[in-house]
Structure 1
Protein backbone atom coordinates (compact mmCIF):
# COMPACT_ATOMS: atom_id res chain seq x y z
CA UNK A 1 0.00 0.00 0.00
CA UNK A 2 1.33 3.41 -0.98
CA UNK A 3 2.02 5.90 1.76
CA UNK A 4 0.36 9.32 1.53
CA UNK A 5 2.00 11.93 3.70
CA UNK A 6 -0.54 14.78 3.60
CA UNK A 7 -4.27 15.45 3.56
CA UNK A 8 -6.40 17.98 1.71
CA UNK A 9 -6.72 19.97 4.94
CA UNK A 10 -2.93 20.04 5.34
CA UNK A 11 -2.59 21.19 1.73
CA UNK A 12 -5.02 24.04 2.33
CA UNK A 13 -3.22 25.05 5.54
CA UNK A 14 0.18 24.88 3.81
CA UNK A 15 -0.81 26.89 0.73
CA UNK A 16 -3.52 29.11 2.16
CA UNK A 17 -5.61 28.25 -0.89
CA UNK A 18 -8.48 25.86 -1.46
CA UNK A 19 -7.17 22.53 -2.73
CA UNK A 20 -7.73 21.44 -6.34
CA UNK A 21 -10.64 19.05 -6.86
CA UNK A 22 -8.25 16.13 -7.38
CA UNK A 23 -5.94 16.98 -4.46
CA UNK A 24 -6.03 13.45 -3.00
CA UNK A 25 -4.72 12.04 -6.28
CA UNK A 26 -2.06 14.73 -6.48
CA UNK A 27 -0.96 14.17 -2.88
CA UNK A 28 -0.75 10.42 -3.50
CA UNK A 29 1.37 10.97 -6.61
CA UNK A 30 3.57 13.56 -4.88
CA UNK A 31 4.09 11.19 -1.94
CA UNK A 32 5.12 8.36 -4.26
CA UNK A 33 7.41 10.70 -6.20
CA UNK A 34 9.09 11.93 -3.01
CA UNK A 35 9.35 8.35 -1.72
CA UNK A 36 11.27 7.38 -4.85
CA UNK A 37 13.44 10.49 -5.11
CA UNK A 38 14.00 11.72 -1.56
CA UNK A 39 12.51 9.86 1.39
CA UNK A 40 14.00 6.47 0.49
CA UNK A 41 17.42 8.04 0.94
CA UNK A 42 16.61 9.29 4.44
CA UNK A 43 16.87 7.67 7.84
CA UNK A 44 13.98 8.16 10.27
CA UNK A 45 11.92 6.08 12.69
CA UNK A 46 8.71 4.61 11.27
CA UNK A 47 5.47 3.31 12.71
CA UNK A 48 3.81 0.02 11.80
CA UNK A 49 2.48 1.55 8.55
CA UNK A 50 5.89 2.78 7.42
CA UNK A 51 5.03 6.41 8.13
CA UNK A 52 7.29 8.71 10.16
CA UNK A 53 6.88 7.91 13.86
CA UNK A 54 7.93 11.35 15.09
CA UNK A 55 5.32 14.11 14.73
CA UNK A 56 7.94 16.66 13.57
CA UNK A 57 9.17 14.37 10.80
CA UNK A 58 5.57 13.53 9.82
CA UNK A 59 4.79 17.26 9.57
CA UNK A 60 7.91 17.89 7.49
CA UNK A 61 6.92 15.07 5.12
CA UNK A 62 3.38 16.49 4.89
CA UNK A 63 4.78 19.95 4.12
CA UNK A 64 7.09 18.41 1.51
CA UNK A 65 4.20 16.58 -0.19
CA UNK A 66 2.10 19.76 -0.18
CA UNK A 67 5.03 21.74 -1.57
CA UNK A 68 5.45 19.22 -4.37
CA UNK A 69 1.77 19.45 -5.32
CA UNK A 70 1.85 23.25 -5.15
CA UNK A 71 4.95 23.25 -7.39
CA UNK A 72 3.13 21.20 -10.02
CA UNK A 73 0.21 23.62 -9.93
CA UNK A 74 2.52 26.65 -10.13
CA UNK A 75 4.56 25.35 -13.08
CA UNK A 76 1.47 24.04 -14.85
CA UNK A 77 2.75 20.46 -15.04
CA UNK A 78 1.43 18.05 -12.43
CA UNK A 79 2.44 14.82 -14.17
CA UNK A 80 5.72 15.54 -15.95
CA UNK A 81 4.11 15.29 -19.36
CA UNK A 82 5.05 18.85 -20.33
CA UNK A 83 8.63 17.79 -21.03
CA UNK A 84 7.71 15.06 -23.50
CA UNK A 85 7.10 15.23 -27.19
CA UNK A 86 8.42 18.47 -28.59
CA UNK A 87 11.27 18.48 -31.04
CA UNK A 88 11.33 22.19 -31.81
CA UNK A 89 9.43 25.23 -30.66
CA UNK A 90 9.49 28.77 -31.99
CA UNK A 91 8.13 31.78 -30.15
CA UNK A 92 8.87 34.96 -32.03
CA UNK A 93 12.61 34.97 -32.65
CA UNK A 94 13.35 32.40 -29.92
CA UNK A 95 13.89 28.87 -31.24
CA UNK A 96 14.36 25.77 -29.11
CA UNK A 97 14.93 22.23 -30.32
CA UNK A 98 15.84 18.82 -28.98
CA UNK A 99 15.56 15.20 -29.98
CA UNK A 100 12.08 13.85 -29.38
CA UNK A 101 13.40 10.30 -29.03
CA UNK A 102 15.92 11.24 -26.34
CA UNK A 103 13.36 12.99 -24.17
CA UNK A 104 11.62 11.35 -21.26
CA UNK A 105 9.39 13.20 -18.85
CA UNK A 106 12.15 13.44 -16.24
CA UNK A 107 13.32 16.87 -17.44
CA UNK A 108 9.82 18.32 -17.21
CA UNK A 109 9.07 20.86 -14.48
CA UNK A 110 6.49 18.51 -12.97
CA UNK A 111 9.21 15.87 -12.40
CA UNK A 112 11.56 18.21 -10.55
CA UNK A 113 11.78 18.27 -6.78
CA UNK A 114 10.18 21.49 -5.57
CA UNK A 115 12.63 23.81 -3.79
CA UNK A 116 10.19 24.08 -0.85
CA UNK A 117 10.56 20.31 -0.30
CA UNK A 118 14.14 20.93 0.77
CA UNK A 119 13.03 23.81 2.99
CA UNK A 120 10.65 21.49 4.83
CA UNK A 121 13.28 18.78 5.29
CA UNK A 122 16.02 21.16 6.42
CA UNK A 123 14.12 22.61 9.38
CA UNK A 124 16.38 23.17 12.39
CA UNK A 125 13.80 21.22 14.44
CA UNK A 126 14.71 18.07 12.51
CA UNK A 127 17.85 17.12 14.37
CA UNK A 128 19.98 14.17 13.18
CA UNK A 129 18.44 11.91 15.82
CA UNK A 130 15.04 12.44 14.09
CA UNK A 131 15.88 12.67 10.39
CA UNK A 132 19.01 12.25 8.31
CA UNK A 133 18.47 13.44 4.74
CA UNK A 134 20.40 11.77 1.96
CA UNK A 135 21.79 8.90 4.00
CA UNK A 136 23.22 5.95 2.16
CA UNK A 137 24.38 2.93 4.09
CA UNK A 138 25.12 -0.74 3.70
CA UNK A 139 24.20 -3.61 5.94
Structure 2
Protein backbone atom coordinates (compact mmCIF):
# COMPACT_ATOMS: atom_id res chain seq x y z
CA UNK A 1 0.00 0.00 0.00
CA UNK A 2 1.44 3.41 -0.90
CA UNK A 3 2.54 5.71 1.88
CA UNK A 4 0.59 8.96 2.23
CA UNK A 5 2.29 11.60 4.36
CA UNK A 6 -0.55 14.09 4.90
CA UNK A 7 -4.28 14.08 5.53
CA UNK A 8 -7.01 16.35 4.20
CA UNK A 9 -7.00 18.02 7.65
CA UNK A 10 -3.26 18.68 7.27
CA UNK A 11 -3.90 20.22 3.86
CA UNK A 12 -6.63 22.45 5.28
CA UNK A 13 -4.28 23.62 8.05
CA UNK A 14 -1.50 24.27 5.50
CA UNK A 15 -3.58 26.24 2.99
CA UNK A 16 -6.14 27.81 5.30
CA UNK A 17 -8.82 26.63 2.87
CA UNK A 18 -11.17 23.67 2.89
CA UNK A 19 -9.59 20.60 1.36
CA UNK A 20 -10.89 19.80 -2.15
CA UNK A 21 -13.24 16.87 -2.67
CA UNK A 22 -10.42 14.81 -4.20
CA UNK A 23 -7.87 15.73 -1.50
CA UNK A 24 -7.04 12.11 -0.66
CA UNK A 25 -6.17 11.37 -4.30
CA UNK A 26 -4.09 14.53 -4.60
CA UNK A 27 -2.26 13.81 -1.34
CA UNK A 28 -1.54 10.25 -2.47
CA UNK A 29 -0.10 11.48 -5.80
CA UNK A 30 1.96 14.14 -4.08
CA UNK A 31 3.25 11.57 -1.57
CA UNK A 32 4.36 9.30 -4.43
CA UNK A 33 6.19 12.22 -6.03
CA UNK A 34 7.89 13.14 -2.76
CA UNK A 35 8.97 9.50 -2.45
CA UNK A 36 10.45 9.70 -5.96
CA UNK A 37 12.39 12.81 -5.00
CA UNK A 38 13.76 11.03 -1.92
CA UNK A 39 15.10 7.87 -3.54
CA UNK A 40 18.56 8.47 -2.08
CA UNK A 41 17.44 9.81 1.31
CA UNK A 42 18.04 7.66 4.36
CA UNK A 43 15.89 7.99 7.46
CA UNK A 44 14.42 5.64 10.06
CA UNK A 45 11.07 4.05 9.26
CA UNK A 46 8.61 1.70 10.89
CA UNK A 47 7.48 -1.63 9.43
CA UNK A 48 5.12 0.19 7.03
CA UNK A 49 7.89 2.44 5.70
CA UNK A 50 6.60 5.53 7.49
CA UNK A 51 9.19 7.83 9.05
CA UNK A 52 9.65 7.54 12.82
CA UNK A 53 11.50 10.83 13.44
CA UNK A 54 8.98 13.61 14.18
CA UNK A 55 11.04 16.16 12.23
CA UNK A 56 11.12 13.94 9.15
CA UNK A 57 7.40 13.21 9.51
CA UNK A 58 6.66 16.93 9.67
CA UNK A 59 8.91 17.68 6.67
CA UNK A 60 7.20 15.04 4.54
CA UNK A 61 3.75 16.28 5.60
CA UNK A 62 4.69 19.87 4.80
CA UNK A 63 6.27 18.93 1.46
CA UNK A 64 3.17 16.98 0.40
CA UNK A 65 0.83 19.81 1.40
CA UNK A 66 3.06 22.38 -0.33
CA UNK A 67 3.11 20.25 -3.49
CA UNK A 68 -0.69 19.93 -3.57
CA UNK A 69 -0.99 23.69 -3.03
CA UNK A 70 1.58 24.36 -5.78
CA UNK A 71 -0.28 22.14 -8.21
CA UNK A 72 -3.58 23.85 -7.44
CA UNK A 73 -2.00 27.26 -8.11
CA UNK A 74 -0.34 26.17 -11.37
CA UNK A 75 -3.23 24.05 -12.68
CA UNK A 76 -1.14 20.87 -12.62
CA UNK A 77 -3.12 17.66 -12.07
CA UNK A 78 -0.05 15.74 -10.92
CA UNK A 79 -0.23 13.39 -13.89
CA UNK A 80 2.86 14.89 -15.54
CA UNK A 81 0.91 15.84 -18.64
CA UNK A 82 1.45 19.57 -18.04
CA UNK A 83 5.20 19.21 -18.52
CA UNK A 84 5.08 17.39 -21.84
CA UNK A 85 5.44 20.35 -24.22
CA UNK A 86 6.76 23.91 -24.09
CA UNK A 87 4.28 25.08 -26.70
CA UNK A 88 1.07 23.64 -28.10
CA UNK A 89 -1.13 25.10 -30.84
CA UNK A 90 -4.48 23.72 -31.91
CA UNK A 91 -4.81 25.07 -35.39
CA UNK A 92 -3.13 23.81 -37.42
CA UNK A 93 -2.01 21.45 -34.66
CA UNK A 94 1.65 21.81 -33.68
CA UNK A 95 3.67 20.90 -30.61
CA UNK A 96 7.25 21.82 -29.88
CA UNK A 97 10.07 21.51 -27.38
CA UNK A 98 9.63 18.57 -25.08
CA UNK A 99 10.17 19.72 -21.52
CA UNK A 100 12.46 17.82 -19.21
CA UNK A 101 12.65 17.56 -15.46
CA UNK A 102 16.45 17.56 -15.47
CA UNK A 103 17.99 18.74 -12.25
CA UNK A 104 14.80 18.30 -10.24
CA UNK A 105 14.94 15.84 -7.34
CA UNK A 106 13.79 12.47 -8.66
CA UNK A 107 12.75 14.16 -11.91
CA UNK A 108 9.72 15.61 -10.12
CA UNK A 109 8.69 19.28 -10.08
CA UNK A 110 8.05 19.67 -6.36
CA UNK A 111 7.69 23.43 -6.39
CA UNK A 112 9.92 25.64 -4.30
CA UNK A 113 8.16 25.34 -0.94
CA UNK A 114 8.02 21.53 -0.97
CA UNK A 115 11.65 21.27 -2.02
CA UNK A 116 12.72 23.71 0.72
CA UNK A 117 10.83 21.70 3.37
CA UNK A 118 12.74 18.59 2.36
CA UNK A 119 16.10 20.41 2.20
CA UNK A 120 15.60 21.96 5.65
CA UNK A 121 15.01 18.47 7.08
CA UNK A 122 18.24 17.27 5.46
CA UNK A 123 16.41 14.90 3.12
CA UNK A 124 17.67 16.51 -0.10
CA UNK A 125 20.04 15.76 -1.63
CA UNK A 126 19.83 12.31 -0.06
CA UNK A 127 21.73 12.47 3.20
CA UNK A 128 21.76 10.23 6.22
CA UNK A 129 19.62 11.54 9.10
TM-score category of the 2 structures, normalised to the smaller one:
0.7 to 0.9
Stretches of 4+ moved more than 6 A in 1? none
Which residue is equivalent to 2:119? 122
1:47 is displaced (CA, Å) by 1.0
Unpaired runs of 5+ residues, structure 1, are: 91-95
Which residue is equivalent to 1:133? 124
- Say whether residues 1:71 and 2:67 are aligned partners: no
Which residue is equivalent to 2:39? 40
Within 5 Å, which residues of 2 pair with 1:23-62? 23-36=23-36, 38-62=37-61
- Say whether residues 1:12 and 2:9 are aligned partners: no
1:104 is displaced (CA, Å) by 6.8
Give the Cα–Cα distance (whole angstroms) in 2 for the partners of residues 80 and 112 of structure 1. 9
Which residue is equivalent to 2:110? 113
Identify the range of structure 1 (39-48 vs 75-84) with the bigger mean alpha-carbon deviation.
75-84
Deviation sequence 1:55-76 (CA, Å, 0-9, x none): 1110110000011111110001
Deviation sequence 1:3-30 (CA, Å, 0-9, x none): 1000000001111111111000000001
Give me the CA root mean square deviation: 2.8
Aligned residue pair count: 119
1:132 is displaced (CA, Å) by 4.2
2:125 aligns to what SS in structure 1?
coil
- TM-score (norm. length: structure 1): 0.72
Unpaired runs of 5+ residues, structure 2, are: 103-107
Give the Cα–Cα distance (whole angstroms) in 2 for the partners of residues 122 and 28 of structure 1. 21
Which residue is equivalent to 1:93? none
Cα 1:43–1:85 shift into 2, 3 Å: closer
Give the Cα–Cα distance (whole angstroms) in 2 for the partners of residues 86 and 39 of structure 1. 27
2:44 aligns to what SS in structure 1?
coil
